[in-house]
Chain A
């Protein structure tokens, strides 16, 4: 269903559909409730939605009929008595459900959920119940985790290797990259080559800030990372990272969002901003940057995007790609689509609420 989009906004979920060359809002759900993340599980056709009620806590909902009806599922819960890294003085509770990620096709009932304050949860019954992955939560390096932007660390990236679903890559912001090769029994930190300019030792083994991590589908050993301190790429499943931020004065560096090409492991897109301290587009001009050579060089794609007085940011899950089509939504409620790999963009609407997530169905 590459002709449909799930758009999570601060004021609800939109399902958009393509009619010829035009995209239109087909239906709206969870009106006035912040929708953090929404995606369709390709294994089951279930749409999963994470809500962030201002008053009533984070909730999970699912639809087995592509949005016609919804069912609330008990949200992940931290075990009684658990406290939050790094100082373990605050009771651990699910403050925010960052994302939901399916396991491999060989495990159709297994789902992962990433949360604030940093816990990864796992369901083995199709999402009816979730358990904290204690092996990661209790990793000895968790004294290096901390909050950034939010009060507590967050599990913001989950990538399951399509060749072997026991191999899972996790991004904790702030904490770093963790990889399990045994289905979550053990975890290894993989941050070599990253740097963290906010730490006394920027090359510390832990305490890095991946905003998002994606694997190239055509070669899942290739990992891409939009980090707080730049853009990084690894060709060996994160054992060694290389800084591929634009060294030629272009904007690709700081940002949140990332998309990778299905076919070509050298191709990816990012949505740059100035820096952590100046969270605005570079020169207040909206741009998507694309590399076609594994980060050796970047092209700045601006055609159809506003180039003055623009304050839009693209959040980490608000850019997606399918075939040659890319779509993203912004913090200012604008929504853009390109059908030629980002060369040309068109605005679908300027009137959404803050866009948190964009996923092709």
Chain B
């Protein structure tokens, strides 16, 4: 199963958020699965049309997510997924 890690900044809104293992074929599946476990978390990562939020990044291994519109990047049992905010602010 793919290993999924989150930026610790998301723990402000989901205090029991933790690293987890998910059986999924795509990154979109991963987001749907973590939203099931932490209800509403998906809305922090993607918008209502399913696209990655502008200032959120997802790494699949060392690679940035390619399909930011539909999150169709493939995931395998060996994948390590890291969901993190972009380096922006002010």
What's the least CB distance linking B49 to chain A, in Å?
4
With contacts A54-B89, A57-B44, A74-B40 known, is A80 near B53, CB below 8 A? no
Task: Report whether A57 and B49 are in contact in the complex, using a CB–CB cutoff of 8 Å.
Answer: no
Which residue in B40, B45, B51, B88 is a CB contact (below 8 Å) of A54?
B88
Give the CA-CA distance A72 to B43 in the complex, in Å: 12
Task: Report whether B43 and A55 are in contact in the complex, using a CB–CB cutoff of 8 Å.
Answer: no
Give the CA-CA distance A92 to B48 in the complex, in Å: 8
Which residues in B have their C-beta under 8 angstroms from that of A77? 48
Which residues in B have their C-beta under 8 angstroms from that of A59? 43
Task: Report whether A78 and B44 are in contact in the complex, using a CB–CB cutoff of 8 Å.
Answer: no
What's the least CB distance linking B28 to chain A, in Å?
14
Determine whether A56 belongs to the interface, using a CB cutoff of 8 Å to chain B.
Answer: yes
Give the CA-CA distance A200 to B51 in the complex, in Å: 36
Determine whether A75 belongs to the interface, using a CB cutoff of 8 Å to chain B.
Answer: yes
Which residues in A have their C-beta under 8 angstroms from that of B47? 57, 91, 93-94
Q: Nearest CB to that of A81 among chain B residues?
A: B49
Task: Report whether B40 and A80 are in contact in the complex, using a CB–CB cutoff of 8 Å.
Answer: no
Task: Report whether B51 and A93 are in contact in the complex, using a CB–CB cutoff of 8 Å.
Answer: yes
Which residue in A56, A80, A91, A93 is a CB contact (below 8 Å) of B44?
A56
Q: Nearest CB to that of B89 among chain A residues?
A: A54
Total chain A interface residues with beta-carbon distance under 8 A: 18
**Residue-wise interface mask of A (269-302) relative to B, using a CB-CB cutoff of 8 A (1 in contact, 0 not):** 0000000000000000000000000000000000
Total chain B interface residues with beta-carbon distance under 8 A: 19
Which residues in B have their C-beta under 8 angstroms from that of A91? 47, 49, 51
What's the least CB distance linking A29 to chain B, in Å?
13
Q: Nearest CB to that of B45 among chain A residues?
A: A56
- 8 Å CB interface, B1-53 against A: 9-10, 13, 40, 43-45, 47-49, 51, 53
Which residues in B have their C-beta under 8 angstroms from that of A81? 49
Which residues in B have their C-beta under 8 angstroms from that of A74? 40, 43
Give the CA-CA distance A69 to B11 in the complex, in Å: 18
Which residues in A have their C-beta under 8 angstroms from that of B85? 55-56
Give the CA-CA distance A53 to B44 in the complex, in Å: 9
Which residue in A54, A75, A92 is a CB contact (below 8 Å) of B49?
A92
Determine whether B55 belongs to the interface, using a CB cutoff of 8 Å to chain A.
Answer: yes
11 A-B residue pairs with CB within 8 Å: A54-B88, A54-B89, A55-B56, A55-B86, A55-B88, A57-B43, A59-B43, A72-B40, A80-B48, A93-B49, A94-B47
